[in-house]
A and B are shown apart, each in its own frame.
Chain A
């Protein structure tokens, strides 16, 4: 049991220690080895999450409370809680942070110490969000993640990056206002905002007070959808993800929109279960996101912008999974969070590789790179197949779970829409692959070579993870069935 306590303390204390080490060590040394420090932090996080999952499973725990300052003698003072769902999110955070660091070792040339500081604070924010037991503390860490992502986007102060950062900031402030208003109204009804106290608020309220609660649930959904980049609040997402440095885009698209947005909606769905209007609203937002993201991605010519619109589309799938209200839907949504993290980071790593070797990200200027950059093109094809939901990759299983959940919970129409939208997904990604990797090689690209070092390693690793998760997923399903969850 003690080891679980140490593993739990890793998530919040190791980034703080890394910030201290980063600023105390001499500067030239840190500038050369910044990826070692942050890579170690990410590996620690992955290892601690995996260990905690196994330990909690072996001991049969469903929740483990802990606190950082262990000299509190007050009962009920454990401020953080580990649950299996939060451990899966923590695993995803660690994986995406590792990929981002590997890419950053090549693409981030200056301001490395500030990059490490900001990455560590973003890690503290994201870990904090999934670990707390109180809705207001969730908002505090959400704001921490938001502020550190504003600064990370505008780290290199190019005009496009500042513009993307301003747009993200303004729309994010709307989310802050909505979420805080909703929290104030919920606080009026119950006496506190801890998760266990909010549970019974809908039953205990009478007619007039229920209207305020419904209004606050609507505001919470709106606020978290803004952070997740779902339609109709998606306009900041392509600008912010395109204009940021690629290492930052990996973080943003791979994990921030999911932790900040999807985890918030997951908490809303689990705190107010059974409200029919919530399910309808989430399903509507989900379907609109899938279709809008896919259709708008068909017209773009910038590699990262296509991938950013693809993020909007996949967030729609995750929201559809959440809207079912059944356990299968939740499991499908969490599985899709993991597989989306895997294939989206692969696509952005390919963008980083292309930018390093070719120098541009305009797909009209590229072509026929498959023979020149075999590793990049293979990982890109694997990511494309996983996104479109083709077996045996990880994306197939998570999409299958979501569509099964939609069928069994009565909305067969939505299941059909999700299935048909896969055709659009295939369409825009196929266009991307064809234009970049297949076809004729233009003259000025005849000498392009494969990218070396961290980016290549990470592309190979992610391809292996996507394939292995896909092949081994039936084992996960058998395990979940043995626990009675499916």
Chain B
């Protein structure tokens, strides 16, 4: 099991870095979708199947669709993209920053001896019971936020009358 987790962590980190550094926004969105799929595998191995399903369907599916529709509603010619945004200059420091940060964090973790218990505790509860019975305030919050999302789409996307 640990081998799968290590491989998936490496894939996840590389997809995220590629998504951040990529020049074209479409490629960034596709890399993000792949990263979501990899994260779904990690979540499933860690014993959270419901979270894995919603992660793959919502983040990998829904958010990518929202992105690609926003990108296609704002179509701009390819040459202008390269001239205008010049993200390459900004983003090319990202791998170096990450390597330095990684070394700092590993040193800090070993020095501060931040340790997590190595063995997993078996989980005894069912997600559905917890969610529907004791997280009802969260459900109210989610319903209200989905309502706001609907109102936002109406407010922001309606045809202007003038």
Contact = CB atoms under 8 A, between A and B. Distances in A.
Tell me if chain B binds chain A.
yes
Interface of A: 12, 19, 67-69, 72, 74, 77, 79-80, 111, 114, 117-118, 121, 124-125, 128, 132, 134, 136-137, 140-141, 143-144, 147-148, 150-151, 154-155, 157, 188, 207-209, 211-212
A118 B148 contact: yes
5 contacts: A77-B133, A111-B155, A140-B137, A144-B144, A211-B114
B137 A132 contact: yes
B109 to A, nearest CB: 9
Nearest to A136: B138
B55 to A, nearest CB: 15
A212 B155 CA distance: 42
Given A132-B137, A140-B138, A124 B113 contact: no
Contacts of B160: 157
Contacts of A125: 141, 144
B82 interface: no
B127 to A, nearest CB: 15
A147 B141 contact: no
B144 A124 contact: yes
B115 interface: yes
Interface residues of B, number: 25
A79 B139 CA distance: 12
A379 to B, nearest CB: 32
A31 to B, nearest CB: 14
A80 B137 contact: yes
A124 B152 CA distance: 17
Given A128-B137, A208-B113, A208-B115, A144 B145 contact: yes
Interface in B71-127: 112-116
A147 B149 contact: yes
A121 B133 contact: no
B24 interface: no
Interface string B132-151: 01111110111011011101
B137 A121 contact: no
Given A79-B136, A154-B156, A208-B112, A140 B151 contact: no
Contacts, number: 78
Contacts of B156: 151, 154, 157
Given A79-B137, A117-B147, A140-B145, 14 more contacts: A72-B133, A79-B136, A111-B155, A117-B151, A118-B148, A118-B151, A121-B147, A121-B148, A132-B137, A147-B149, A151-B155, A157-B156, A208-B114, A208-B115
Nearest to B155: A114
A103 B156 CA distance: 23
Most A CB contacts (10 A, CB to CB) among B113, B155, B156 go to B155
Contacts of B142: 140
A158 B23 CA distance: 30
Contacts of B151: 114, 117-118, 121, 151
B112 A68 contact: no
B114 A140 contact: no
A259 to B, nearest CB: 15
In the A-B complex, list the 3 residue pairs whose CB atoms are closest, starting with the nearest. Answer: A140-B141, A137-B137, A151-B152
Contacts of A128: 137, 140-141
Nearest to A74: B133
B70 to A, nearest CB: 13
Contacts of B152: 147, 150-151
B125 to A, nearest CB: 11
Contacts of A72: 133
Contacts of B140: 12, 68, 124, 128
Residue of B137, B142, B154 with most partner-chain A CB within 10 A: B137
Nearest to B112: A211
| Residue of A117, A140, A154 with highest tally of chain B CB at under 10 A | A140
Contact of B141 (A68, A77, A111, A144): A144
